[in-house]
Amino acid sequence: MEKRMTVSSQNFKNEDIQKLEEISEVNVYSCYQCGNCSASCPAFEFMDMPPHQVIRAVQLGFIDEILEANTPWICAACISCTVKCPRGVDIAKLMEGVRQVILRKGIDHLNINEIDKKLREQLPQIALIANFRKTIL
Ligand code: SF4
Ligand code: SF4
pLDDT number for residue 134: 62
pLDDT number for residue 103: 82
Q: How many domains does the chain have?
A: 1
pTM of the model: 0.76
pLDDT number for residue 81: 97
Identify which of 43, 30, 34, 39 has the alpha carbon closest to the alpha carbon of residue 95: 43
Is 5 within the bounds of a domain?
Answer: no
Containing domain of residue 120, as a range? Answer: 13-132
Ranges of the chain whose pLDDT falls below 50: 7, 9, 137
CATH number of 90's domain: 1.10.1060
Q: Are 21 and 59 in contact (CB under 8 A)?
A: no
> What is the 38 CA–ligand 2 centroid distance (Å)?
8
Query: For the chain, what is the radius of gyration of the CA atoms?
Result: 14
Q: Tell me if 130 CB under 6 Å of ligand 2.
A: no
Is 44 within the bounds of a domain?
Answer: yes
- Say how far apart CA 104 and CA 110 lie, in whole Å: 15
Is 87 within the bounds of a domain?
Answer: yes
Candidate of 81, 83, 89 to mutate for ligand 2, largest count of ligand atoms within 8 Å of Cβ: 81
Q: pLDDT tens for residues 86-103?
A: 999 999 999 999 988 888
Residue located nearest, by CA, to atom 3 of ligand 1: 31
